[in-house]
Amino acid sequence: MKLIDLNDPLRRVLEVYAVYWVADPNVTGRGQRIHLVIPYEGYDSFMTVPEESGEIVDPTIDGFILRKSGNGWDMLVHWAAEKGDLLDMLIDGRNPDAIAELHRRIREDSPRKL
């Protein structure tokens, strides 16, 4: 999946590594979709892009795994970020080692190997 962050003045196309939903207090029974992306080369954690701030340019979700988030809602996670605690490390903040591990997994592994 790829999107453009509408708040990015350069309108870069970004790879989405996870999609999750949070409760929307304005709409009963509907969650707001949040995308986790790496906004540019050298950024060392995930950044969130809410659905109203992103334009999906490639909706393909091949290689994503369905799992439950911490709040019990469904979450789609890129296979390379799903194993172990890598996803949490990428979400929790600046972590160049976690980004390097994500890129290593994508470069050297495949969804079937993990």
Per-residue model confidence as pLDDT tens digits over 71-87: 788 899 999 998 888 99
Nearest one of 41, 49, 23, 35 to 81, comparing CA atoms: 35
- Residue count of the chain, please give it: 114
Higher-pLDDT residue of 109, 24: 109
pTM score: 0.86
Mean pLDDT of 87-95: 89
Mean pLDDT of 42-54: 93
Mean pLDDT of 20-41: 82
| DSSP SS3 for 97 | helix
pLDDT, residue 27, reads 63
Specify the residue for token string 């080692």.
97
pLDDT, residue 57, reads 98
